[in-house]
Amino acid sequence: MFRRAPVNPRNLLTWLGLLFGAGGLGLQFFISMQAYLASGRDVFGALGAFFSYYTILTNIVLVLIYLSTILPTARLDLFRQPIVRGLMAANIALVSLYVYFVLRHLSELDGLFELADKLLHYLCPIFYMLWWLSAQPHGHLRWPNLPVMLVPTFVYFVYVVARGAWVQEYPYPNLNAIKLGYPQVLINAAGMTVALAVLTGIVIYLDQWLAKPKVAVRG
């Protein structure tokens, strides 16, 4: 009798994260594009709207991080960097918390839209956080990295505001300069930045704490 080798938990999380991430993105793309085109948008307008959502962009990065673990290609080296993987832990946590505490109260979803929402906003973030926590080795993140880890989100904010001024459409209500005005949008963005900075600080602390050698307790 041969014993089957035990399943590596991190490998399992990698494949599950990749499966649910790619599946959730594919499902969201299919139903969103159908809805956009049915509402009268052209293909480019529909694509622009779809890729304006932070949820979509962050989950795409998570899929690329999983792929960088599986595939040895140098083209995915960026997604092997501890700073990238760490900042994504903070960002995907922010996405999940923002949806849970704010967006879910603004509309009701059903059917495939609800399924995609649960996959991308809850299941995928949980898988990634577990995956990141199980990563070895930790200890690469430093407190001076924190401002750098906020830069991608700042770039996204600039992009969304610029796109919104052009097409008169915003992906999230707290960034809608048409209804709120730019001063309020800036205040909202500052609040989100503080929240992200706190989550990033927690990620850096956890990275350093997980890198410390654990002392075995003898009975």
- Tens digits of residue pLDDT in 129-169: 999 999 878 999 999 999 999 999 999 999 999 999 999 99
Phi-psi region of 71 (alpha: psi -120 to 50; beta: other; left: phi over 0): beta
pLDDT of residue 135: 85
Round to whole Å and give the CA distance between 129 and 193. 20
What does the domain layout of the chain look like in residue ranges? 9-211
Mean pLDDT of 19-44: 96
Percent of the chain with pLDDT over 90: 86
Mean pLDDT of 113-134: 96
Burial of 120 (0-12, 13-18, 19+ CB in 10 A): buried
pLDDT of residue 179: 95
User: What interhelical angle do 124-133 and 9-38 show, nearest 10?
Assistant: 150
Round to whole Å and give the CA distance between 87 and 151. 10
Following CA atoms 184, 165, 107, 189 in sequence, which dihedral angle do they give, to the nearest 10 degrees?
-40
The answer, yes or no, to whether the previous bond of 137 is cis (omega within 30 of 0) is yes
Mean pLDDT of 89-95: 97
pLDDT beyond 70 at 6: no
pLDDT beyond 90 at 2: no
- pTM confidence score: 0.93
Round to whole Å and give the CA distance between 215 and 90. 28
Q: Is 38 helix (H, G, I), strand (E, B) or coil?
A: helix
User: Residue 104: pLDDT band by 50, 70, 90 thresholds?
Assistant: confident
User: Residue 1: pLDDT band by 50, 70, 90 thresholds?
Assistant: very low
DSSP symbol at 39: T
Round to whole Å and give the CA distance between 95 and 92. 5
pLDDT of residue 137: 86
User: Residue 115: pLDDT band by 50, 70, 90 thresholds?
Assistant: very high
pLDDT of residue 8: 79
* pLDDT tens string 162-211: 999 999 999 999 999 999 999 999 999 999 999 999 999 999 999 999 99
Beta strands in 109-189 (DSSP E): none
pLDDT of residue 209: 95
Structure tokens at 145: 């990295």
pLDDT of residue 215: 53
pLDDT of residue 3: 58
pLDDT of residue 107: 81
Round to whole Å and give the CA distance between 171 and 161. 10
Burial of 52 (0-12, 13-18, 19+ CB in 10 A): buried
pLDDT beyond 60 at 4: no
Round to whole Å and give the CA distance between 187 and 193. 10
Structure tokens at 102: 């704010």
